[in-house]
């Protein structure tokens, strides 16, 4: 725990501590937790504790916000910060949790450049300098079953990272102009391919606009890293460079640990 955590503890009266009871909960309900090494787990425990402690949590529709809800959301949101020099989401105002699907009214994009009006149900939503809204059932399913590819928490918090530079355009803050140009070139090529002919790893929703492309690509980067690395090696490399994590190597190491290698 750093000096800042101690200082915040004095002000708020309670320091952001990782409760030991969260460990078995995360091992059981968050598949990726078991793939982390000792150093990664140490940073994750700090990030999870801060997130649970600092975020303004809002239940929707009389939903009960238990420790399990807060910790499972915090852990998935923190996975995106694991390799970054960022310990929190500075523009996040609150996390609103719905029991199942989130219902919205009005006009909205439904994928493939198509707009629709009327009631829309979705698993989550991220607002610029505002709340992240999540469906608890989708959150729980995504944590436990990464092989399906989808993860609503990774998706919405990727939008939060994208928004850090003031525009939601599929390009998060990068080191310099050369890095931005390379990022845009690689992502544009992959985005155009998804729109034109689809992709074996990126679902069609990635073709909605560049912001959705980055959010969907983030889900697949963490959930199906080996597939993404095989099918879109340049895109995988850009995401690995931005997140400063290599989930494909993590995935292979875990597989070897499970099944043994000679
Ligand atoms: Zn989205």
Cα(146) to ligand 1 centroid in Å equals 18
Cα(17) to ligand 1 centroid in Å equals 31
pLDDT of residue 109: 55
Burial class from Cβ neighbours inside 10 Å (0-12, 13-18, 19+) for residue 245 reads buried
pLDDT of residue 107: 57
Cα(147) to ligand 1 centroid in Å equals 20
pLDDT of residue 12: 53
pLDDT of residue 7: 42
Q: Is residue 1 part of a domain?
A: no
Q: What is the dihedral of CA 140, 144, 150, 154, to 10 degrees?
A: 70
């959930």: which residue's tokens?
A: 223
Q: Is residue 129 part of a domain?
A: yes
Cα(41) to ligand 1 centroid in Å equals 28
The pLDDT tens digits along the chain (262 residues) read: 344 444 444 445 567 899 999 999 999 999 999 999 999 999 999 999 999 999 999 999 789 999 999 999 999 999 999 999 999 999 999 999 999 877 766 655 544 455 555 566 678 888 888 899 999 999 999 999 999 899 999 999 999 999 999 999 999 999 999 999 999 999 999 999 999 999 999 999 999 999 999 999 999 999 999 999 999 999 999 999 999 999 999 999 888 877 765 4
pLDDT of residue 119: 61
| Cα–Cα nearest to 157, from 84, 103, 76 | 76
Q: Is residue 167 part of a domain?
A: yes
Q: Domain range for residue 34?
A: 14-255
pLDDT of residue 260: 64
Q: Is residue 130 part of a domain?
A: yes
pLDDT of residue 127: 85
Q: Is residue 261 part of a domain?
A: no
Structural contact between residues 255 and 247, judged by C-beta atoms closer than 8 angstroms: no
* Structure-block tokens of residue 11: 């002000």
Q: Is residue 76 part of a domain?
A: yes
Cα(14) to ligand 1 centroid in Å equals 34
What CATH number does residue 157 fall under?
Answer: 3.40.390.10
Q: DSSP of 131-163, one letter per residue?
A: -EEEEHHHHHHHHH-GGG---HHHHHHHHHHHG
pLDDT of residue 4: 44
Q: DSSP of 11-42, one letter per residue?
A: HHSS-----TTHHHHHHHH-GGGGG--HHHHH
Rounded Cα gap, residues 207 and 192, in angstroms? 8
Q: Is residue 9 part of a domain?
A: no
**Which residues are in the CB-under-5-Å shell of ion ligand 1?**
212, 215
* Structure-block tokens of residue 150: 């989808």
Cα(81) to ligand 1 centroid in Å equals 18
How many structural domains is the chain composed of?
1
């Amino acid at each position: 725990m750093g000096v800042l955590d101690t200082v915040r503890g004095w002000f708020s009266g309670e320091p952001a501590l990782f409760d030991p009871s969260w460990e078995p909960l995360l091992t059981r309900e968050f598949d990726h937790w078991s793939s982390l090494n000792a150093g990664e787990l140490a940073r994750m425990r700090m990030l999870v504790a801060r997130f649970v402690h600092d975020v303004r949590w809002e239940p929707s529709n009389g939903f009960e916000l238990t420790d399990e809800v807060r910790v499972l959301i915090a852990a998935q949101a923190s996975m995106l910060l694991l390799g970054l020099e960022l310990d929190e989401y500075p523009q996040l105002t609150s996390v609103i949790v719905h029991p199942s699907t989130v219902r919205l009214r009005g006009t909205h994009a439904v994928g493939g450049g198509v707009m629709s009006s009327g009631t829309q149900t979705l698993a989550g939503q991220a607002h610029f300098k505002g709340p992240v809204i999540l469906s608890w059932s989708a959150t729980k399913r995504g944590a436990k079953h990464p092989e399906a590819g989808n993860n609503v928490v990774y998706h919405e918090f990727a939008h939060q990272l994208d928004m850090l530079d003031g525009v939601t355009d599929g390009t998060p803050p990068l080191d310099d102009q050369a890095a931005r140009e390379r990022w845009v070139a690689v992502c544009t090529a992959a985005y155009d391919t998804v729109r034109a002919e689809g992709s074996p790893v990126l679902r069609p929703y990635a073709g909605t606009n560049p912001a959705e492309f980055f959010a969907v690509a983030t889900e697949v980067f963490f959930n199906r890293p080996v597939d993404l690395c095989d099918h879109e090696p340049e895109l995988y490399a850009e995401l690995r460079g931005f997140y400063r994590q290599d989930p494909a190597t993590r995935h292979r190491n875990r597989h070897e640990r499970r099944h043994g290698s000679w």
